[in-house]
Amino acid sequence: MNEVKKGLSITMIFKAQSLNYGEGIGNISELKKLSRGDGSIYTFASRQALRYDIARLGNKMFGWNLEVVDKSKGTVQFKEGLTIEDSQEMDLFGYMKTAKKTDKENGGSDIRSAAVRLSNAISLEEYKNDIEFLNNKGFADRINEFPNLANIEQHLSFYTYTITIDLEKIGVDGNIELDNSIRAKRIKELLEIIKVLNREIRGREENLSPVFIIGGVYKLNSPFFLGRVKLNGKDGQFSIDTDMLKDTMSLKLGENSIEEDTNVGIVKNIFSNENEIEEKFKVTSIQEFFENLENEVDKYYN
């Protein structure tokens, strides 16, 4: 097996609206938000929300087994008898199985850390306190009643998130080691899901498919471009800060910089500095980018 390049890392940008709500106050539904020291506020979709939709599409597209949880030990968790052989989700995202405490035992946990790591999807545009007022007047009018009122925070923005995959850990857990063809298949299915990812929320279906993506397969499993993606907005158009990305690509692992293993995928006519991006980086379409990743995955497991 090729031990040289074993860490797949990709950072993406997508455009979507109001992806993740918190608990809320009264009749106000609040978006999940992060505050920065300069006073700016950004919305985000949690990594748990992204994982939920990845698993949902995994089941829908590839028949991933989601019948893998119960509450036999008092908490909702993966079933005791199942292994990574039975569950793609357990293999990719890890698990923790707790044991009940008895008079003779102190309990404990069976833990396998995640081979696939997700970051939160954080907005690249500041939240400006947009709020939608709504009511159920259509229903209320049918029975001559007053409608119920609600306020929902809204935010349309570009978002960015990062996925890192430890190719060595996929399909390996204790004494279990799956066939390389199965290991490659699971990663390629995950990449297919990421390519067309969407989120179902409040009657909407938001498109989380990337319009910009950067990364590759590297000697080290690390989220190199996490926190290195920045948008500049001017005159109603957005451009990607290429200098920050170029500086990141100059990082060296041993003798060589990560630029040698880094590619960029882009959807045409989204960003105003598209020509600059094509001049500075090895640019392909989004489809070609994912095909190149799948080829690298096949090389590793072969």
b/e sequence 271-281, b meaning 16+ C-beta within 10 Å:
bbbbeebeeeb
Cα distances from 80 to residues 9, 95, 111, 160, 194, in angstroms, run: 31, 11, 12, 36, 29
Report the alpha-carbon distance of residue 301 to residue 201 in Å, rounded. Answer: 37
Residue 110 has pLDDT above 70, yes or no: yes
Q: What is the pLDDT of residue 108?
A: 64
pLDDT of residue 107: 57
Average pLDDT for residues 233-249, to the nearest whole number? 94
Mean pLDDT on 157-164? 98
User: Rounded CA gap, 184 and 56, in Å?
Assistant: 20
Bridge partners, residue 198, by sequence: 207
Asked if residue 156 has pLDDT above 60, the reply is yes
Q: Using CA atoms, how far apart are residues 256 and 276, in angstroms rounded to an integer?
A: 24
> Are 113 and 164 in contact, with CB atoms under 8 Å apart?
no
Q: Is the pLDDT of residue 3 over 50?
A: no
Q: Is 278 helix (H, G, I), strand (E, B) or coil?
A: helix
pLDDT at 26: 83
Residue 105 has pLDDT above 80, yes or no: no
**Distance in angstroms (rounded) separating the CA atoms of residues 41 and 26:** 22
Q: What is the mean pLDDT of the chain?
A: 92
Q: Tokens 């970051």 belong to which residue? A: 119
- pLDDT tens-digit series, residues 46-100: 999 999 999 999 999 999 999 888 887 777 888 888 899 999 999 999 998 876 6
Q: pTM for the whole thing?
A: 0.92
Question: How does strand 263-266 pair with strand 69-70?
Answer: unpaired
Mean per-residue pLDDT, 109-137: 93
pLDDT tens for residues 212-225? 999 999 999 999 99
The pLDDT of residue 100 is: 61
Higher per-residue confidence, 112 vs 217: 217
> Helix (H, G, I), strand (E, B), or coil: what is residue 10?
strand
Binned at pLDDT 50, 70 and 90, residue 109 comes out as confident
Residue 144 has a CB neighbour count (10 Å cut-off) of 6
Q: Which residues contact 281 (CB under 8 A, 6 or more apart)?
A: 214, 242, 245, 262, 263, 264
